[in-house]
Structure 1
Amino acid sequence: MKKLTVNKIIIDNGCYKAYVQENVELEKAQSLQAGNRMLVDSDGLAFVYILEDDSAFYYVSFPQETWSNLKDSYEQTASLMLILAEDIEIELTSIKEELSFLIENIEGNSNYGEEMERAVQEIFS
């Protein structure tokens, strides 16, 4: 398992693009696919999207600093693309459905921790 951290999300030609701070080797970037599922990192105040290949999972962390742009992409019909290496973009399929499910589950649920619950309500409610 490898963790990648999104450090910015921008709009480019009507499409949202998320950039990670880590360098991903071109060959590895080409082998990764959208995992169509998300998790919550309550301790790190982050949403985590899963990427996968034949041998491993990659956790793409969306820390709290990116949530306002993540919310914008969530509310639009545009795709959210993850930019990994030169010319390697992966569409984060099912992210809107997964994020909607997580937001709904977190609201009013202290199992995620008070800080996570409060942070999600501030941005997404």
Structure 2
Amino acid sequence: MKKLMVNKMTEEQDFLKAHLNEEINLELANSLKAGSRMLVDSDGLAFIYILENDTAFYYVTFEQSTWPYLKKLLVTNKSLILDLGNEKSIELTSMFEELTFLTENIDGNSNYGEVMEKAVKEVFN
């Protein structure tokens, strides 16, 4: 498992774009597939999208600073594209459904911790 950090997000005409803090080498970028599922890192106050290839999983981490763009994704239902560098990008499929489920599940759920629950409420409610 390798962590990939999103350090910036932008809004384009028809989609949102997430930018990583490091460029992925082209061979790896070409092998990655959208995992269509997400996790929550309550301690790190982050949402994690899973990418995969034949040998490993890669965790794309959306820290709290990116959440206003994730909220826009829920409001507009636009696609989210991850810029991998080297002029390569990948659509993060099922992002809307996964994020909707997680934000609704976190609300009022002490399993995620009080700090995570409060942070999610501030942005997504």
Structure 2 residue identity aligned to 1:80: L
TM-score (norm 1): 0.96
Structure 2 partner of 1:97: 97
Work out the CA distance in 2 between the residues paired with 1:24 and 1:64: 23
Work out the CA distance in 2 between the residues paired with 1:118 and 1:12: 29
Structure 1 partner of 2:22: 22
Please, which runs of 5 or more residues in structure 2 have no aligned partner?
Answer: none
SS at match of 1:8: strand
1:78 aligns with 2:87: no
SS at match of 1:17: strand
Contact 2:83 2:90 in 1 (8 A): yes
Structure 1 partner of 2:109: 109
Identity %: 59
Contact 2:36 2:94 in 1 (8 A): yes
Structure 2 residue identity aligned to 1:110: S
* Aligned-residue CA RMSD (Å): 0.9
Aligned pair count reads 125
Q: CA deviation at 1:75?
A: 1.4
Q: CA deviation at 1:91?
A: 0.4
Deviation >2 Å, runs of 4+ = none
Q: CA deviation at 1:69?
A: 1.1
SS at match of 2:28: helix
Deviations 1:39-66 (A, max 9, x none): 0000000000000000000000000000
Q: CA deviation at 1:102?
A: 0.5
Deviations 1:63-102 (A, max 9, x none): 0000001111221132100000222111000011000110
Work out the CA distance in 1 between the residues paired with 2:60 and 2:104: 21
TM-score (norm 2): 0.96
Deviations 1:24-50 (A, max 9, x none): 111101110100000000000000000
